[in-house]
Amino acid sequence: MDDRRRVKVSKYLSKHLRHDPERLGLTLAPGGWVGVDELLRACGAHRFAVTRAELDEVVAKSEKQRFAFDETGERIRANQGHSVAVDLQLEPTAPPEQLYHGTGAGSVDSILATGLERRGRHHVHLSADAETARRVGMRHGRPVVLSVAAGEMARAGHAFFVSTNGVWLVDAVPPAFLRRA
């Protein structure tokens, strides 16, 4: 599969596994899982046929590891970033002392004043390293990396989770725990 097709399939899966499963007639099971065969049938029925080989390649070659198969390979899910109600069944996890958030320069003043909010998603997404956060910030214009005092937040009672692909998740980051990296 060429890169253009892989990106197109990945975006299609992101839209439907994270934001609009109902559009394909899918219902996410606990953990965000859906049967692979069910997903492939639904894609085909909506005129976007995807083969199992293409699905395997998208999961394996996704730089951001957006999707995962269960241990049997019979179910798939988006690892995080959902806007639909879903319990990903993640356990609270002690974070490192520092985590990072990448954003565009135009948003920095507002974020430092009001904190990071999950908005339409289930969680605020944080990175374990500044370089990953910088790459995320590039999607929003001139990138700025913010440092999050995650260890301090956890000691103050904020629950952190880590997705299968290593993205750190938290409900919100109050401004007192943020600064420019």
Clarify whether residues 110 and 164 are in a common domain. Answer: yes
| Parent domain of 54 | 3-78
- 91 belongs to a structural domain: no
pLDDT at 177 over 90: yes
Whether residue 157 lies inside any domain: the answer is yes
Residue 94 lies in a domain: no
Residues 37 and 67 in one domain: yes
Whether residue 122 is predicted with pLDDT greater than 90 in this model: the reply is: no
Domain assignment present for 88: no
pLDDT of residue 165: 81
Residues 61 and 115 both lie in one domain:
no
Whether residue 72 is found in the same domain as residue 120: no
Select from 46, 78, 110 the last residue of a domain.
78
Shared-domain flag, residues 174 and 106 = yes
Query: Any idea what the Cα angle at residue 121 is, between residues 134 and 29, rounded to 5°?
Result: 120
Confidence of residue 163 (pLDDT cuts 50, 70, 90): confident
Question: Does one domain contain both 74 and 103?
Answer: no
Do 70 and 34 fall into the same domain?
yes
> Which residue is it, tokens 């214009």?
141
- Mean pLDDT comparison of 45-54, 121-130, 134-143, highest-scoring range: 45-54
Asked whether residue 53 falls in the same domain as residue 12, the answer is yes
Final residue of a domain: which of 78, 107, 132? 78
- Do residues 68 and 124 share a domain? no
Read off the pLDDT of residues 65-91 as tens digits, 9 standing for 90 and up: 889 999 999 999 998 888 888 878 889
pLDDT of residue 121: 78
Confidence grade of residue 160 (pLDDT, cut at 50, 70, 90)? very high
113 confidence band (pLDDT: 50, 70, 90): very high
Whether 13 and 52 map to the same domain: the answer is yes
Label residue 153 by pLDDT band (50, 70, 90).
very high
Contact present, 88 and 163 (Cβ < 8 Å)? yes
3-state helix, strand, coil in the chain (%, to 5): 40, 20, 40
| Domain presence at residue 19 | yes
8 and 48 part of one domain: yes
CATH number, domain at 167?
3.20.170.30
**Which residue is associated with the tokens 């999050």?**
148
What is the number of domains present in the chain? 2
pLDDT in tens, 88-105: 888 999 999 999 999 999
Surface-to-core class of residue 66, CB atoms within 10 Å of its CB (0-12 exposed, 13-18 middle, 19+ buried):
buried
